[in-house]
């Protein structure tokens, strides 16, 4: 079930019932992100754009009362539905009990973020918006990899997923998601297509995992991208002169050197088997990585007490000089440029995790 951010509902001053909406005798709570699709044409369009085959196992997240579930059952081989609300689980079971679909529907009650996902070919999700980021990366971390996911997101979040270098909404979320998947916008969905209507419009997005998965250490990548997007519209040269950044990188550098001596020169190689769940940081993603700071807010390391830059700082700046990265901005860097710059830092012995 789709929904906006969790908000505390104000009690009614007249003692009237709360603003819950009903379907089949079940009340829906905005505060829990429960918003049911009521437009049958939209449901049909989502199923059609999913490209479901008759042999597909479909994972549905947040089925609610089953309006979309029925169409998914008609299109695929089997539907595995994960639903948190026990009332909705009972409604689903009642709705399809004794029908031709009963043997092809499996309902799992639980929190999808805490549930081990089964095998599936396609995921279709209409979710509470507050779990958008962690769910996206939970799906991308799933093995074996699925064919695609069709997910309803809050529109602004969806636009950040598909944003390209140079776009206003291009941010850390865009870069992290697009490293592991091809993302495309399918449909804009107005708030009036839901019961009860959420506060914001929505969008349907298609996510296709990249195969094979990129050979990048997720923790190393995440540490690197976080630094690049501290101020996405500042030059990388400015960002990597920040005192705290240089201090952290130098500490990593010295630690790694010490470890290499203990391990006879073995280095921290990339580990593609590490999971990518840590990339789904919902709090930071909703902060939208906005570059609203000024140079005055940034502690810039211009040199030591003698006016000469440290040896480590020179090592960092030397990496940035290649391809003139020092004058480039994260807001305009492509996926390939980020990957190349990270590899150059690593080759110089500079690591981010």
Quick one: which H or E segment has residue 248? helix 243-262
Region(s) of the chain under CATH 1.10.8.480: 216-260+305-352
Tokens representing residue 218 in the block = 């997720």
Query: Regarding predicted confidence, which is higher, 126 or 54?
Result: 54
Q: What is the pTM of this model?
A: 0.82
* Rounded average pLDDT over 151-155: 95
Q: What local confidence, expressed as pLDDT, does residue 285 receive?
A: 52
Q: Cα(195)–Cα(28) distance, rounded to whole angstroms?
A: 8
SS3 150: strand
For the beta carbon of residue 23, count every other beta carbon within 10 angstroms. Answer: 14
Q: pLDDT of 179-198, one tens digit each?
A: 999 999 999 999 988 888 88
- Six-digit token string for 149: 């996911």
Q: Which two tokens stand for residue 8?
A: 């505390």
281-326 residue pLDDT tens: 655 554 444 444 444 445 555 554 444 458 999 999 999 998 999 9
Please enumerate, by residue number, every residue annotated as part of a binding site.
Answer: 35, 37, 62, 83, 111, 126
DSSP 8-state code for residue 190: -
Distance in angstroms between the alpha carbons of the first and the last residue of the chain: 36
Comparing 261 with 205, the larger pLDDT belongs to 205
Number of H helices, E strands in the chain: 12, 11
What is the fold, at CATH topology level, of the domain defined by 30-209? Rossmann fold (3.40.50)
- Dist. CA 60–CA 124, nearest whole Å: 5
Lowest-confidence pick of 36-50, 108-122, 326-340: 36-50
Residue list, annotated binding site for S-adenosyl-L-methionine: 35, 37, 62, 83, 111, 126
Domain with CATH 3.40.50.150 in the chain: 30-209
**CATH classification number, 216-260+305-352, choose in 1.10.3720.10, 1.10.8.480, 1.10.287.610, 3.40.980.10:** 1.10.8.480
Question: Which of 11, 129, 144, 13 lies closest to 62 in space, CA to CA?
Answer: 129
Cα–Cα distance between 57 and 78 in angstroms, integer? 5
Please tell me the total number of residues recorded for the chain in this structure.
Answer: 353
Q: Are strands 202-209 and 148-154 parallel, antiparallel or unpaired?
A: antiparallel
């Amino acid at each position: 079930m789709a929904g906006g951010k969790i908000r505390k509902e104000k009690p009614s001053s007249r003692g009237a019932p709360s603003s819950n909406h009903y379907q089949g005798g079940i009340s829906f709570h905005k505060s829990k992100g429960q918003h049911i699709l009521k437009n049958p044409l939209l449901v049909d369009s989502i199923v059609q754009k999913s490209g479901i085959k008759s042999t597909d196992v479909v994972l549905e997240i947040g089925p609610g009362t089953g309006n979309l579930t029925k169409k998914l059952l008609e299109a695929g081989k089997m539907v595995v539905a994960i639903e948190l609300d026990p009332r909705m689980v009972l409604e689903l079971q009642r709705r399809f009990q004794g029908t031709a679909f009963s043997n092809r529907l499996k309902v799992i009650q639980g929190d999808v973020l805490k549930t081990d996902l089964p095998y599936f070919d396609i995921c279709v999700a209409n979710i509470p918006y507050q779990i958008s980021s962690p769910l996206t990366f939970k799906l991308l971390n799933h093995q074996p990899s699925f064919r695609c996911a069709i997910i309803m997101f809050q529109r602004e979040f969806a636009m950040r997923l598909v944003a390209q270098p140079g776009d206003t909404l291009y941010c850390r979320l865009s870069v992290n998601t697009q490293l592991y998947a091809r993302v495309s916008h399918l449909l804009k969905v107005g708030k009036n297509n839901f019961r009860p209507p959420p506060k914001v419009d929505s969008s349907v997005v298609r996510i296709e995992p990249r195969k094979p998965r990129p050979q990048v250490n997720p923790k190393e990548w995440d540490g690197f991208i976080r630094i690049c997007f501290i101020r996405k519209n500042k030059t990388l040269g400015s960002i990597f002169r920040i005192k705290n950044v240089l201090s952290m990188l130098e500490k990593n550098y010295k630690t790694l050197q010490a470890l290499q001596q203990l391990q006879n020169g073995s280095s921290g190689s990339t580990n593609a088997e590490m999971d990518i769940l840590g990339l789904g940081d919902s709090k930071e993603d909703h902060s939208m990585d906005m570059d609203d700071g000024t140079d005055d807010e940034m502690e810039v390391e211009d040199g030591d007490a003698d006016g000469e830059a440290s040896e480590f700082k020179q090592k960092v700046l030397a990496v940035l000089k290649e391809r003139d990265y020092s004058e480039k901005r994260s807001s305009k860097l492509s996926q390939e440029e980020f990957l190349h710059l990270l590899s150059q830092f690593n080759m110089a012995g500079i690591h981010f995790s």
